[in-house]
Amino acid sequence: MEYQELMKKAKKVSKNAYAKYSKFKVGACLLTEGGKVYEGCNFENSSYGLSICAERNAVGSAIADGEKKFVAIAIYSPKMYDCLPCGACRQVLHEFEIENGMDIITLGKEDIIVRKLDELLPQGFDL
């Protein structure tokens, strides 16, 4: 799967985000080792701390389907160029990245930007 295509899916699913409080919609699309894709969007709650990020929502869908090795994730928000995952999501993604590391794909002003998760979360926690 092309990273451009992954970003297109993240963009599409961001429309379904439930961002009633922050008005900050986010969509994410995960790519597994076997080439499957799983989407997620953020959904908020009137008890603010219960809100779930798009990235972790996508991870949950993949895990529920038996997938645990991720190659890449595309993240999109209509409100921000280069929308990077929050610290909590970085650690959650680290848990399931492939041996070579996961690619984090965002959308800059011109084109997509590809980074390694390790750049965003050096020395992530492992047990």
Which residue ranges make up the site for ligand THU (CB under 6 A)?
19, 22, 24, 26, 42, 44, 51, 53-55, 75, 85-86, 89
User: Which position has the token pair 């972790």?
Assistant: 56
Residue 3 or 24 with smaller CB distance to ligand THU: 24
Query: At its nearest, how many Å lie between ligand THU and the CB of residue 57?
Result: 8
Q: Is 23 left (phi over 0), alpha (psi -120 to 50) or beta?
A: left
- Kind and range of the H or E run holding 46: none
CB of 1 to ligand THU, least distance (A): 21
* Sign, Cα dihedral of 6, 117, 121, 68: positive
Closer to ligand THU by Cβ: residue 48 or 127:
48
Is 55 an annotated catalytic residue?
A: yes
Catalytic residue among 39, 55, 67, 97: 55
Which amino acid is located at 23 in the chain? K
Asked whether the beta carbons of 106 and 73 are under 8 A apart, the reply is: no
Element holding 64 (H helix, E strand): helix 54-64
Q: Which is nearer to ligand THU, 48 or 125 (CB)?
A: 48
Active site residues: 55
